[in-house]
Each structure stands twice: as C-alpha cells, then as structure tokens.
Amino acid sequence: QQQVKQSPQSLIVQKGGISIINCAYENTAFDYFPWYQQFPGKGPALLIAIRPDVSEKKEGRFTISFNKSAKQFSLHIMDSQPGDSATYFCATAPRLTFGEGTQLTVNP
C-alpha cells in the first residue's frame, strides 16, 4: 500500500531551468511533509519541509508548494544547477514514509 506517490521517476533539466517534482497522498492525518535529498553513495539529508497550515515555503532556490484540498505537494528547484543532480524523496509524517524517489539530472 503506497501511502505517498511521487512523480516523475526521473527528470532531466538543463542548467538554469526549473525542476518540479510532485507527490500525492491519501491520508488526511499526514501533517508534515519533508523532502530529502540523496547524492550517490550518501545517505539522504533533509532539504526542506512544510506543515499544512501554509501553502508555500521557500528556502533559497528550493520551494515547496502545498495544496491541501488536492492532497498534493511539490518541490520546485529554481535555477537548477548540475550540483543539484541527486535523488529526491518526498515524505510524510507522523510516521515517516518515503515516496519512491525522483532521480534528477541537471545538464550543464
């Protein structure tokens, strides 16, 4: 039973472009939505997180957009850089559940 569905599975973006990764959930009890970033050969690291009382949270080039009625949230990476190439996992709480992951490649 997949509690959070993430798309796309892979994404290729040109340097300077906008990367958008989407997640959808079913359980309305979820009340915290973190995103983790994982570089090859490393463990995931918390990138940014949002609570459902706000519709958007921005940290530098990274923005989470949250749509409570649609039960969807997305990660936007503005001015994408080759150093952003990594796998991104959305997740939900209270019980931390990861999405399937999106492998992002930013071409120079």
Partner 1 sequence: DAMVIQNPRYQVTQFGKPVTLSCSQTLNHNVMYWYQQKSSQAPKLLFHYYDKDFNNEADTPDNFQSRRPNTSFCFLDIRSPGLGDAAMYLCATSRGPVGGYEKLFFGSGTQLSVL
If the CB atoms of residues 80 and 89 are measured against partner 1, the closer one turns out to be 89
If the CB atoms of residues 60 and 108 are measured against partner 1, the closer one turns out to be 60
Q: State the nearest-atom distance from the C-beta of 103 to partner 1, in Å.
A: 8
Cα 101 from Cα 90, distance rounded (Å): 7
Q: Which are the contacts of 94, defined by CB distance < 8 A and separation ≥ 6? A: 29, 30, 31, 32
For binding to partner 1 (CB under 8 A), which residues are involved?
A: 32, 34, 36, 41-46, 89, 91-101, 103
If the CB atoms of residues 3 and 17 are measured against partner 1, the closer one turns out to be 3
Q: State the nearest-atom distance from the C-beta of 79 to partner 1, in Å.
A: 25
In the 3-class helix/strand/coil scheme, how is 76-107 assigned residue by residue?
EECCCCHHHCEEEEEEEECCCEECCCEEEEEE
